[in-house]
Amino acid sequence: MTITTQRTAEETTQHHVENAGRVGAGVFNPRQLWTSLPDAFRKLSPRHQLRNPVMFVVWVGSVLVTVFAITDPGVFNIGVALWLWFTVLFANLAEAVAEGRGKAQAESLRRTKKETVARRLLPDGSEESVPGVELKIGDRVVVEAGEVIPGDGDVVEGIATVDESAITGESAPVIRESGGDRSAVTGGTTVLSDRIVVEVKTKPGESFVDRMIALVEGASRQKTPNEIALTILLAVLTIIFVLAVVALQPMAGYSGGLVSVIVLTALLVCLIPTTIGALLSAIGIAGMDRLVQRNVLATSGRAVEAAGDVSTLLLDKTGTITFGNRQATELLPVGSSTVDDLAIAARLSSLADGTPEGRSIVDLCAREHVLPAEPSEAEKSGEFVPFTAQTRMSGIDLNGRVVRKGAATAVRAWVEEHGGTVPDEVHTVVDGIGAEGGTPLVVAEQIEGVAVVRGVIRLSDVVKPGMKERFDELRTMGIKTVMITGDNPLTARAIAREAGVDDFLAEAKPEDKMALIKKEQEGGRLVAMTGDGTNDAPALAQADVGVAMNTGTMAAKEAGNMVDLDSNPTKLIEIVEIGKQLLITRGALTTFSIANDLAKYFAILPAMFAAIYPQLGGLNIMGLHSPDSAILSAVIFNALIIVGLIPLALRGVRYKPSSAKSLLRRNLLVYGLGGIVTPFAGIWLIDLLVRLIPGM
């Protein structure tokens, strides 16, 4: 007997690793710097640089210094000009590397696209063959075993197994059928068995794969609100530093000396936030890339960023918090029956029950009471009574022995119909199991023509291992978790207590989910939820982060702003962590960028005015060789630090669940203090090499 369980964490991790390799994404590889160089040079055009105010100022400064270096060549002038251009080039390189990873993913996805000939159904029931690119929304096509599904849509007739490995990386086929929440199919996947009729839901060129290609390539990536706000802040800081540097020349002239334009430009480039300005775009692209590595398609960067700010998570109980398949965990005899009597009767009553619950009862009896897992030849001759939604019972009639098992109300009616009575003890046990979050099934059989209750089977919807710890981490991050279930309030409360969620919504209907989301949003919270059915579409659209399952309907996928290709409801927790990591990475590198200006200040300003104000020599705490070597060393460090931080921008700062206060303290200690110390050491080491250059 097989009981379906969720894929283990190790298997899931391995799947992600393999899929990341399939689409060409993964850990940063130094070779990516070399292969992305041509793109970095192409981005040197002023039209591209205008998109980034900070780097555009560096580009203008590079042009200006180059002109002066040509008219007045010298080791210092040429060195500053070259390293200013390197600064612009390295900024382009960071963006090119991030985009290059996306292009590798897009190329892998393009290989999954196949030009197909579709068998379009006509109104009279006949078929016509048309190219897949000519299909329109609403067309119905027939797809049989071995054929490729020509476009995205919903199965409206039939059931089939489908190979989606080209899209999801999962080798196991999946079942798609009409009339349920697993009706959506993706163009480019292959039907392995049976025959289905698919109603097309997208136009040519707007399919799921087409949108994935556009997103991972970055063609449709738009700056997020936080990214725009940070860009404006950096632009304002740049303007302030421009004004400050321009004001230095009159001050120097008043003091009896002038500073060269090349030195002023070097000072400006070193003081403006070039590090974060160069890496900002790469950080955003890498955030999308990390989602794709985990088989999640985000329709916009805004969704990824919103995931990082989420403060309320709505999670379905079944399949997310629990395994979803209720399993028999305990046999509770009543009256004069022994546990062995109950085990024998429970097994017989479940032999014809093909539900996961029925199979788990047989398994429990075989495992703990040493009863056969398969029916004997004599038992096969009995008349099996299968479980139905109408009777809510299953059982067997065997050689005059009549055994039934089912819901308490259904069995009570059967017992009373056959001259028996249900003892009060049964009601107590049934209520107790329900209050603890379980599902009770009552077992009864006829003895000498009179029905007698043997006992109660406890079915438990088992909470997945580690969920309580995950929810504790989310609570530490200030995120409220709400479990949504169709169970009655007693069962919902028990599961919520065991899982460790903050709140629950029992007997939930679609309108209840919408009302809950709106209530949370009115309090200023950002809400995330998962769903897969058409009835989930309104709530997915209302949520700030709506994650639709790939197995779900097209309506759900269109309503959400993310699609999980693995259809794993717990992925929502990972998505929130990725969003947090994106925000933390951006904040950490911004802190580092602004902090390392302090060291460059101590390197350049004393060197600039040492001849005019000899007292400033005391600020040369690094003991730099000369004014020229100090300035050139600072410019070189300013360029090299961008390359050094590219891997961190792409990989992201390691995320560890903690409170906002702890994150801020860690950010200031590691990246604030590191941003101050690193330039001091870096500029000093570079100065040791620069002073060896003839003419310096």
Q: Per the annotation, does 397 bind a ligand? A: no
> What does the DSSP assignment read for 160-199?
EEEE-HHHH---S-EEEETTSSS-EE-TT-EE-SSEEEEE
Question: What gap in Å lies between CA 318 and CA 529, rounded to an integer?
Answer: 14
Q: Per the annotation, does 86 bind a ligand? A: no
User: Which amino acid would we find at residue 140?
Assistant: R
Question: What gap in Å lies between CA 465 and CA 322, rounded to an integer?
Answer: 9
487 labelled catalytic: no
Three-state DSSP state, 636: helix
Task: Output the CA–CA distances (angstroms, integers) from residue 459 to 2, 336, 360, 372, 437, in the order listed.
Answer: 17, 22, 9, 20, 9
The answer to whether 77 and 69 have CB atoms below 8 angstroms apart is yes
The answer to whether 598 and 585 have CB atoms below 8 angstroms apart is no
- Going by C-alpha positions, the residue among 643, 337, 317, 347 that lies closest to residue 494 is 317
Q: Per the annotation, does 532 bind a ligand? A: yes
Residue 602 token pair: 């101590």
Q: Per the annotation, does 32 bind a ligand? A: no
**Tokens 């390293």 belong to residue:** 83
Q: Per the annotation, does 152 bind a ligand? A: no
Q: Per the annotation, does 353 bind a ligand? A: yes
Measure the CA angle with vertex 648, ends 45 and 577; round to 5°.
115
Measure the CA angle with vertex 196, ends 191 and 202; round to 5°.
85
Question: What gap in Å lies between CA 499 and CA 481, rounded to an integer?
Answer: 11
User: Which amino acid would we find at residue 434?
Assistant: G
Q: Give start and end residues of each alpha helix (H) in 610-672.
A: 627-651, 660-666
Contacts of 302 by beta carbon, 8 Å cutoff, 6+ apart? 222, 224, 225, 561
Q: Per the annotation, does 326 bind a ligand? A: no
- Going by C-alpha positions, the residue among 229, 241, 273 that lies closest to residue 589 is 273
Annotated active-site residue in 316, 341, 566, 628: 316
Strand pairing class (312-316; 527-531)? parallel
The answer to whether 552 and 536 have CB atoms below 8 angstroms apart is yes
Question: What gap in Å lies between CA 75 and CA 69, rounded to an integer?
Answer: 9
φ, ψ for residue 232, nearest 5 deg: -65, -45
Strand partners, 322: 318, 463
Question: What gap in Å lies between CA 569 and CA 470, rounded to an integer?
Answer: 14
Q: Per the annotation, does 467 bind a ligand? A: no
> What does the DSSP assignment read for 474-509?
HHHTT-EEEEE-SS-HHHHHHHHHHHT-SEEE-S--
Q: Per the annotation, does 558 bind a ligand? A: no
φ, ψ for residue 230, nearest 5 deg: -65, -40
Q: Per the annotation, does 393 bind a ligand? A: yes
Q: Per the annotation, does 394 bind a ligand? A: yes
Q: Per the annotation, does 590 bind a ligand? A: no
The answer to whether 198 and 140 have CB atoms below 8 angstroms apart is yes
State the virtual CA torsion across 500, 501, 505, 510 in degrees, nearest 10: -130
> What does the DSSP assignment read for 19-57?
HHHHTT--S--THHHHHTHHHHHHTTSHHHHTTSHHHHH
- Going by C-alpha positions, the residue among 137, 282, 242, 247 that lies closest to residue 198 is 137
Q: Per the annotation, does 390 bind a ligand? A: yes
Strand partners, 198: 141, 155
Cα 415 to chain centroid distance, Å, stands at: 52
Sheet of 312-316: strand order equals: 296-298, 562-564, 545-549, 527-531, 312-316, 480-484, 503-505
Please give the annotated binding residues, written as ranges: 353, 357, 387-394, 405, 532, 536
Residues labelled as active-site residues? 316
Please give the annotated binding residues for Mg(2+), written as ranges: 532, 536
Please give the annotated binding residues for ATP, written as ranges: 353, 357, 387-394, 405
